[in-house]
Structure 1
Amino acid sequence: MPLAIRWLQVVLSIVLLTALAAGARAELPLHDVASHGSDAPLRLLLLEEPHSTWTIRDAYPRLLAHGQIVDKTPSLGWSDSSWWLGLRLSDRAGGRYYLWLDHMYLDDVQLWVFAGGKLQLYRETGDLLPFARRDAPLRGFLLPLPTLGMAPQDVILRVKSTSSVSMPLKLIPAEQKDRLLVGSWLTDGLIVGALLVMALCSSSPPCASAPSATTAPRSSAWPGTSPRSTT
């Protein structure tokens, strides 16, 4: 009997530790803007879905249970999988932010935002949709987040693409949106201008040296006198 009780204590201890570990992990990495600032790198949970069949109801608990924490820009290469990412965002009530996914070639990007366990926002964008449907005329994808309230926001992304998948994510305060747009347009304008100049130069014929003007034959006469014809 004492041996059985001892084994029961060991089993209960293991179950308790497992429950505590699961409870400690069952949250998305918190990004507190007041503590870290909006420019700090975002800490994310990342999970691969090989068959691309999950709904948000399937993916959310699996991301919490099996997602890997990443501190750097996820660069995942070529893959047929879907990728799920998540973080928890906290700041003063009334704060407004955009999530900037600075990658131009992603086929499908979906965003869910939850607060207090309720869905606050859903967005879908990507290269397969018309450019006019984007929230901002910008390279990459600038996704608006709901205005923050008292509760933090759980931000979930699903990304799938036939191109190489890279997800440089950055948090942009709403008041910096116009500055970001202007800077991006100027950079893109310089690039397009340089490409246009290169195209014009490559399509024009090579410069040839201009033909020299026909020069009059030299005369041996002194200046001011006309040359005499010889017989």
Structure 2
Amino acid sequence: MAKIRLLLADDHDLVRSGLRAILECEDDLEVVAEASDGLRAVELARLTGPDVVLMDVEMPGMDGLTATRQITATDGPSVLILTTFDRDDYLFAALQAGACGFLLKNSTPETLVDAVRVIARGDGLLAPAVTRRVIATFASPGAVRSRESATKLAELTPREHEVFVHLAGGATNAEIASALHLGETTVKTHVSRVLMKIGARDRTQAVVLAYELGVVRPGG
């Protein structure tokens, strides 16, 4: 089995060492490079071809958000933001930059390892506290629902809309299949079509759009 190749980007040596120690205890994970700033992360992402970049936000020189934008703009590896994260502007700027997920630095080692695997297989991931921030922001009266986004939503078939609602609620393909009495292969096809039609890179961005468009609401 091929290992998941990882690039660590953080300006603190101790943090990178700790991450490496946690991740390389797993047989399917391999750290192939480390960067102490965003510019070096962009360079190493191009040179080493990792599957996932674990990216800090605040770094000297080029910050993690700018680096994420440059990495994802060239169809590079998936980016998982790993941060203390107490600023909403970081969250939404990174989502716009193409990050596939967010995890807080106070997460457990098990959560970190699971998150890397989720990102590596092409799914999105948000830490629960971050998800609540996303929901609160897009459920607010000031949330903007553009005509373009509404048009994208109208392109979904009734079945795709049902899948979108369940997906936005955090359901896995297996859970969606059970709820809608469909096969998992069929659900996977529907999910792919939903992401394509709404212009979402992954499930994480789909959740953001779902709340922005009012497809689902907090508690509903």
Same fold (TM over 0.5): no
Q: Which has the higher contact order (CA 8 A, sep 6+)?
A: 1
Hey, which of these two has a bigger chunk of strand by percent?
1
Q: TM-score, normalised by structure 1?
A: 0.28
Hey, which of these two has a bigger chunk of helix by percent?
2
